[in-house]
A and B are shown apart, each in its own frame.
Chain A
Amino acid sequence: MSIFINNETRLVVQGITGRDGSFHTRQAIEYGTRVVAGVTPGKGGQQFDGTVPIFNAVADAVREAGANTSVIYVPPTLAAGAIAEAADAGVRLIVCITEGIPVVDMMRVMPFVREKGVRLIGPNCPGLISPGQSKVGIIPGAIVTPGRVGLVSRSGTLTYEVVNHLTRNGIGQSTCVGIGGDPIIGTNFIDVLSAFQADPDTDAIVMMGEIGGTDEQKAAEFVKAHLTKPVIGFIAGQTAPPGRRMGHAGAIISGSSGTAAEKMAAFRDHGIAVMERPVDVVKLVRERLGH
């Protein structure tokens, strides 16, 4: 199978008539995603490309078109409101692609999303794709192929680079998930790792992290404690300069500098095979799967 999305996914696109929303809706439809509705307030009753009904509200799309998943392409200052609307409308998964949402807006909307029991992926993420089934977001369909490796990443194009190596070497993927690089995100590494662990059709997991924060270190501990499937990891930013740090609160709260070296060491200490280069993913996945 796959995680989070599959061929039962019925997608509503918030911001379907915008520049990014319309482009990626066409790409998703071409890939085979069931796009059942779009939302642009004021354009309710119209059709997108003559095939997808447009509604004024997500609740209408859920009720009248049976949408169960939403993808958001609305501008940054409206995006947190769009997340809340989708959570209120009763979809079970929200994927927010929008980059640049003020962090205060995310802090305010997250408790609401959790209260509603909805999963949010992102914001500021490329979305996810279950090859051969459904594509929600902007990961190019051409670089993935169905298979049994799960991938989770904080990056966008770096994910494409790694997936491309897998695909070109005949290693398919169950689902590729971009969780986003913002300080406040709805779904973290641990959430995705546990979903892959529970998915009978995922055999190995590739985890792509970056410098900053402590999410990768916590994920490494989780892998050691709870995962039986092999995990291969990468950290981008070994040569990144240390940021011009301000104040003391950041260091006090995390107790960590969040460097690539620290994160790679945490991976190794917890049994995760570490890629030195993106291309290493092929060799390490094969080794860990005994191919």
Chain B
Amino acid sequence: MNLHEYQARALLKAAGVPVPDGDVASTPEEVEAIARRIAGTVVVKAQVHAGGRGKAGGVKLAKTPEEARDHASRILGMTIKGLIVQKVLVVPAADIAHEAYVGLIMDRESQRPVFMVSPAGGIDIEEVAAKTPEKILRLAVDPRYGLLPHQAQRLGFFLYDDVAKVRAAARIMEQLYGVFMANGATLAEINPMVTTTEGKVVALDAKISIDDNELDRRPDLAGLRDETAEDPAEVEARRAGLTFIKLDGNVGCVVNGAGLAMATMDLVKYWGGEPANFLDIGGSSNPEKVVNALRIITRDPSVKAILFNIFGGITRTDDVANGIKTALAEFPVQVPIVVRLTGTNEAEAVRILQGIGMTALSDMDDAVQRVVKLAQEAA
């Protein structure tokens, strides 16, 4: 789960990381009031889960509170990469002397949190990494011992010469590591970490991603989820225990297991069709999940045919068949459904489907070819 900049900033601030003054707002009037309190030039920043906010016109400098309000009235409600801006962050414009990059990531390979820092911060950090890798220092932390003082200092010395700044940076590294581990983050990034003309080290912008597996035991973090920033169908699916991602095609897919779901989409494409979605009903058997899956998929008007691809293991295929039966009794499905199922309790599933006048295929390629043909005929 990605946090907004203002949420990430709040976590860092609570841990003692120096962040600029400022506040979050959702109306132009609130923005004006914040700008008036800050008294000086401010930056109004769109809060959306997308990169390139500046280039899209979502970050604006304002010399007066009135100007801040005007910018806010344009930025609030604007669409950046398909996401509507609901909130803006208002911060004082900083006197930037230097921009550094600080990233901390859960690294799959070393299985540890790994710091990556660079004195060449700002938006082009990936180019820095590709062209001048010597400008990036990587440091893996042993989670048993945490970030040791000399390691934090080494990171600081890679960024600055001045020892006061080195110490300030080292303290920020320790605080960032603390936030990362205490909140089950998979990514925590300060970019840029700036030094001001007065010589202070400040976290100007921050990004934090929280491990989704952390949310069940951390309602405080789960409460930070901004569902308005997501596709409504994806939100509904998550509440129903499904993983759903909307795509552009017209063949709806209901599959058990993420790998098989991806392979099913690939096969739809292979046979000349276009998948309308990724949908994984997960491992457990529950007819209600199937009902919800069908409800979500049939709401998409671009879907012309629906494919069920179920390989029963933990998932009982008779539960899936019962789910289809229940759904068809509850609401009309106007598009053809092709069912492929095999595995646990297959005979019973076939019997249930036959009872409602449906047939089940046992081969994945056969089923995909049939559903693609039906979708093309209907399109």
Q: Residues of A at under 8 Å CB distance from B?
A: 20, 76-77, 99-104, 106-108, 110-111, 126, 138-140, 142-143, 153-161, 164, 181, 183-184, 208, 210-211, 213-215, 234, 236-241, 244-253, 255, 260, 276-279
Contacts and interface: CB of A to CB of B under 8 A. Distances in A.
Interface string B249-277: 00000011111101101111110000100
B258 A181 contact: yes
Contact of B211 (A102, A110, A160): A102
Closest 10 CB pairs of A and B: A155-B259, A157-B257, A158-B259, A249-B103, A236-B262, A157-B260, A249-B105, A237-B262, A252-B129, A158-B260
Interface in B207-259: 207, 209, 211, 213-214, 216-217, 245, 247, 255-259
Contacts of B364: 161, 278-279
A251 B126 contact: yes
A240 B129 CA distance: 26
Contacts of B187: 246-247, 249-250
A90 to B, nearest CB: 21
B97 interface: no
Consensus secondary structure, chain B interface = mixed
B184 interface: yes
Q: Identify the interface centre among A139, A213, A214, A237: most chain B CB within 10 Å of its CB.
A: A237
Given A76-B213, A103-B211, A161 B263 contact: yes
B144 A108 contact: yes
Contact of A111 (B49, B144, B191, B267): B144
B260 A161 contact: yes
B106 A183 contact: yes
A160 B344 CA distance: 12
B259 A277 contact: no
Given A103-B186, A156-B283, A252-B129, A240 B262 contact: yes
B111 A140 contact: no
B365 A213 contact: no
A248 B189 contact: yes
Interface stretch (B12-20, B27-35, B112-120, B291-299): B112-120
B263 A246 contact: no
B258 A277 contact: no
Given A244-B50, A248-B125, A248-B126, 5 more contacts: A213-B108, A215-B108, A234-B263, A241-B247, A251-B129
Contact of B186 (A99, A154, A156, A183): A183
B313 A138 contact: yes
A278 B103 contact: no
27 contacts: A77-B216, A100-B213, A103-B184, A103-B211, A108-B144, A110-B111, A111-B143, A138-B313, A140-B313, A158-B262, A164-B342, A210-B258, A214-B109, A234-B263, A237-B262, A239-B247, A239-B275, A241-B247, A244-B50, A246-B2, A246-B187, A247-B187, A247-B191, A249-B187, A249-B189, A253-B138, A278-B263
Contacts of B51: 245-246
B163 interface: no
Contacts of A160: 260, 311, 313, 343
A166 to B, nearest CB: 14
Contacts of B49: 244, 246
Contacts of B147: none
B140 to A, nearest CB: 10
B112 A240 contact: no
Contacts of B108: 183-184, 213, 215
A250 B103 CA distance: 9
B266 A238 contact: yes
Contacts of B269: 238-239
